[in-house]
Amino acid sequence: MAKTSAVAREKKRRKAVAKYAERRKELKEQMRQLKNSDDFNPAEAQAIAEELQKLPRDASPVRLHNRCALTGRPRGYIRKFGVCRNVFRELAVEGQIPGVRKSSW
């Protein structure tokens, strides 16, 4: 089991990303429109960039890291099932995951 503080930190980050997602999206769209327009104003672009930088660091989706839903393990994560490889194997052997069975040849 992963440290509970690490799991809690990740949950806090996910909450921050969700909270600031709309604002971040608006600012990015403004920047995209400004760059594509004919009358590009560097000062305005700088102001939008500064607004983006004022958002909390943990509000950036890049800082998220997938963790196992059952153990909190950060490595060996299988996206399709939302668990780490160890838990996936245990669940597959027990027959808890539909359509998955241990291969042998």
DSSP state of 63: G
Kindly tell me the burial class for residue 63, based on how many C-beta atoms sit within 10 Å of its own C-beta (0-12, 13-18, 19 or more): middle
Single pTM value for the model: 0.79
Helix (H) or strand (E) holding 18: helix 4-36
All domains of the chain in start order, with CATH: 1-65 (1.10.287.1480), 66-105 (4.10.830.10)
Per-residue pLDDT, averaged over 22-44, amounts to 92
Sequence-ordered list of residues with C-beta below 8 angstroms from that of 82, at least 6 positions apart, any chain: 68, 69
pLDDT tens for each residue of 88-104: 999 999 999 999 888 88
SS3 74: coil
Q: How many CA atoms lie within 13 A of 64 on its CB side?
A: 13
pLDDT tens for each residue of 56-83: 999 999 999 999 999 999 999 999 999 9
Kindly tell me the burial class for residue 37, based on how many C-beta atoms sit within 10 Å of its own C-beta (0-12, 13-18, 19 or more): exposed
Per-residue pLDDT, averaged over 45-62, amounts to 95
pLDDT of residue 75: 95
Per-residue pLDDT, averaged over 17-46, amounts to 93
For residue 23, pLDDT beyond 90? yes
